[in-house]
Amino acid sequence: MTTPALLPLSGRRIPPLNLGPPSFPHHRATLRLSEKFILLLILSAFITLCFGAFFFLPDSSKHKRFDLGLEDVLIPHVDAGKGAKNPGVFLIHGPDEHRHREEEERLRNKIRADHEKALEEAKEKLKKSREEIRAEIQTEKNKVVQEMKTKEKKPLPPVPIPNLIGTHGGDPGDNDLREKREKIKEMMKHAWDNYRTYGWGHNELRPIARKGHSTNIFGSSQMGATIVDALDTLYIMGLHDEFRDGQKWIENNLDFSVNSEVSVFEVNIRFIGGLLAAYYLSGEEIFKIKAVQLAEKLLPAFNTPTGIPWAMVNLKSGVGRNWGWASAGSSILAEFGTLHMEFVHLSYLTGDPVYYKKVMHIRKLLQRMDRPNGLYPNYLNPRTGRWGQYHTSVGGLGDSFYEYLLKAWLMSDKTDHEARKMYDDAIEAIEKHLIRKSRGGLTFIGEWKNGHLEKKMGHLACFAGGMFVLGADGSRMDKAGHYLELGAEIARTCHESYDRTALKLGPESFKFDGAVEAVAVRQAEKYYILRPEVIETYWYLWRFTHDPRYREWGWEAALAIEKYCRVSSGFSGVKDVYSSTPTHDDVQQSFFLAETLKYLYLLFSSDDLLPLDHWVFNTEAHPLPVLHLANTTLSRNPAVR
């Protein structure tokens, strides 16, 4: 630092100074000129020092301390380190100094203002009632939920959409048929309206207790299973107000971030299948988005040593496990083998191969396994990759695995030959080991248990009549006629199981033992829970043969449901189909709206509604388009209104 003050200021006279105490005047008189000069020098040095200190040395306010909490704001302008003795303390130097001071001031003011505001708000809050405070909290919560939903609605990238044919219409062109079709539509409205009134948002309806109902397959949450399952039926019946109502509920309420353990299979066939079908039919993006969100939540179920998924998964934690009753911790063939259709569509719509890879991995693993008598056992352990108990059935536990092999081939526009081969091999083994004719001439499908054929057929196995007919075209060695015949025989047997009851509704399972044919023996097998399989088979038979008997049988079933299952607030299953005074189980199953009523409606519609060369129905009757790859377009779905 220069010291200009040490030089005598030109033109200015420095007055003589009185430096001594006034009590010693003689000293003043005695000072010599040289001494005066030295004193003057010291004095000017002192003044210079003070002057310099005042103008040039940094004052204490220039040595600022900053908490690390302000780092983000200040560090880019700070020469950290120089002169910094304490960690976390920085000295500011240089030309930005002024700006830093302003910045610091601004932050202080802001903090002060925030504190004051918070204090004011707290004071205000204390003046409010509990209800007002609650209402405010709720509004804030809703705001957050709304923001999350807006984010969720981000559209997926556009992909070619199959040209969709026959999404509505289907006038049968005959008054009697029109009336029947209208009656089925009225039944659908009765089921839907009562669910809307008494069970809205719950998974299912208790039509007698007039309240919601659920089972463990849907977990502990209200996931609106009936809404999702029913959407496409509402759509094809032209119940568009009801459809929009369901859509709104899904938009605003269907949330998969719940701490709830659900069945992977059931959620896939009912929810993902239902949402995908609703998307294809209506073109509404929200259904696709929800389907993909849900599918992501199911993926952790595949984290097993073999890649065979657990039966159940917790949607929040992703932890999976198997049903306690399933052969020493096994997964079930009809569950892990009934994912293919939906997962292929998910990969198609998202462009993400992850879903396709999961189901193809399952297929490859099954192909490598030994099969006793060429049959697939129902249980497979996902830890060891070994079969569990040797039990094979085309009814419960096995059924839709075979169905999805055939449908994978159909859905691929008949290009997935591997799936077709697996289907053909499996059906040949089933015919050889499981299908028999009773003494009375009824063809039935039994169950194979540890080397022994149980002559018992479940209601669920009745779907196979439709499957044989659907697979007839394209079968090996041109056995189409044979499979049409086999399908017709199964339809007849299942019709017999209905016809031999008091209510004209079929039991859960029926025996072929000695004199007993197509009749349930045990009390626990006498119930009918609004299941679709027999009507499903009638519909396929109708489509492929146009034999009027299938419409007649379908109508018989519709009348019996109307007479014995309809109650004032919906439809209920019955506990004993052999008792002429039915006892209701008080459950309106979601599949009644998804499948039973849909197949009945299609049975009385013309074939151009959802034609089978363009649509393949998943196992919950949700139609998914055939992926004819040459027949797709990037433009919007022509079905979008």
Cβ-Cβ contacts under 8 Å for 395 (sequence gap 6 or more):
445, 447, 457, 458, 459, 460, 461, 509
Cβ proximity to ligand DMJ: between 283 and 466 the closer is: 466
Say how far apart CA 427 and CA 291 lie, in whole Å.
32
Token reading at 623:
């139609």
Of 531, 543, 551, 622, the one binding ligand DMJ (CB under 6 A) is 531
End-to-end CA distance of the chain: 84
CB of residue 593 to ligand DMJ, shortest distance in Å: 11
Could you give the 3-state DSSP secondary structure of residue 357? helix
Of 599, 620, 623, 637, the one binding ligand DMJ (CB under 6 A) is 620
CB of residue 471 to ligand DMJ, shortest distance in Å: 17
Cβ proximity to ligand DMJ: between 576 and 620 the closer is: 620
Residues 388-427 that bind ligand DMJ (CB under 6 A): 400
Could you give the 3-state DSSP secondary structure of residue 444? strand
Helix (H), strand (E) at residue 142: helix 130-152
Cβ proximity to ligand DMJ: between 329 and 396 the closer is: 396
CB of residue 620 to ligand DMJ, shortest distance in Å: 5
Contact predicate 134/98, CB 8 Å: no
CB of residue 612 to ligand DMJ, shortest distance in Å: 17
Backbone angles phi, psi at 633, to 5 degrees: -145, 145
CB of residue 399 to ligand DMJ, shortest distance in Å: 6
Residues binding ligand DMJ: number (CB under 6 A): 8
Residues 582-611 that bind ligand DMJ (CB under 6 A): 591, 595
Could you give the 3-state DSSP secondary structure of residue 320? strand
Cβ proximity to ligand DMJ: between 278 and 460 the closer is: 460
Long-range contacts, stretch 101-109, CB < 8 angstroms, 24+ apart: 101/64, 103/73, 103/74, 103/77, 104/64, 104/66, 104/74, 107/70, 107/73
Say how far apart CA 296 and CA 496 lie, in whole Å.
44
Say how far apart CA 470 and CA 465 lie, in whole Å.
9
Contact predicate 204/216, CB 8 Å: no
CB of residue 203 to ligand DMJ, shortest distance in Å: 13
Say how far apart CA 518 and CA 436 lie, in whole Å.
13
Of 619, 627, 637, 639, the one binding ligand DMJ (CB under 6 A) is 619
CB of residue 270 to ligand DMJ, shortest distance in Å: 7
Say how far apart CA 221 and CA 223 lie, in whole Å.
6
Cβ proximity to ligand DMJ: between 66 and 617 the closer is: 617
Print the binding letters for residues 478-517 with ligand DMJ: x by CB under 6 A, - otherwise.
Answer: ----------------------------------------
CB of residue 400 to ligand DMJ, shortest distance in Å: 4
**Residue 454 pairs with which residues in a beta bridge?**
447
What letter represents residue 585's amino acid?
A: D
Say how far apart CA 538 and CA 553 lie, in whole Å.
7
- Please identify which of the residues 242, 261, 533, 620 carries the catalytic annotation: 533
- Please identify which of the residues 204, 242, 335, 399 carries the catalytic annotation: 399
**Residue 632 pairs with which residues in a beta bridge?**
162
**Residue 236 burial by CB count (10 A; 0-12/13-18/19+): exposed, middle or buried?**
buried
245 is known as an active-site residue: no
Q: Name the residue among 355, 288, 181 with its Cα closest to residue 624.
A: 288
Cβ proximity to ligand DMJ: between 283 and 506 the closer is: 506
Q: Name the residue among 550, 539, 541 with its Cα closest to residue 610.
A: 539
Q: Name the residue among 536, 570, 569, 567 with its Cα closest to residue 554.
A: 536
489 is known as an active-site residue: no
Cβ-Cβ contacts under 8 Å for 349 (sequence gap 6 or more):
156, 159, 276, 279, 288, 291, 292
Contact predicate 413/405, CB 8 Å: no
CB of residue 591 to ligand DMJ, shortest distance in Å: 4
Q: Is the dihedral of CA 177, 180, 184, 190 positive or negative?
A: positive
CB of residue 68 to ligand DMJ, shortest distance in Å: 60
Residue 337 CA, distance from chain mean position: 19
CB of residue 161 to ligand DMJ, shortest distance in Å: 26
- Please identify which of the residues 508, 525, 585, 586 carries the catalytic annotation: 508
Cβ proximity to ligand DMJ: between 166 and 466 the closer is: 466
Token reading at 566:
């309809």
Say how far apart CA 121 and CA 132 lie, in whole Å.
14
- Cα angle, residue 130 at apex, residues 125 and 135 outer, rounded to 5°: 85
Cβ atoms within 10 Å of 493's Cβ, excluding its own: 27
Residue whose beta carbon is closest to ligand DMJ: 619
266 is known as an active-site residue: yes
Could you give the 3-state DSSP secondary structure of residue 9? coil
Print the binding letters for residues 443-472 with ligand DMJ: x by CB under 6 A, - otherwise.
Answer: -----------------x------------
Is residue 619 marked as binding? yes
- Please identify which of the residues 204, 261, 266, 403 carries the catalytic annotation: 266
Cβ proximity to ligand DMJ: between 542 and 592 the closer is: 592
For residue 340, state whether it binds ligand DMJ (rule: CB under 6 A): no
Contact predicate 520/508, CB 8 Å: yes
Q: Which positions are annotated as active-site residues?
A: 266, 399, 508, 533
Using CB under 6 A, list all residues that contact ligand DMJ. Answer: 400, 460, 531-532, 591, 595, 619-620
What residues are designated binding site? 619
What residues are designated binding site for Ca(2+)? 619
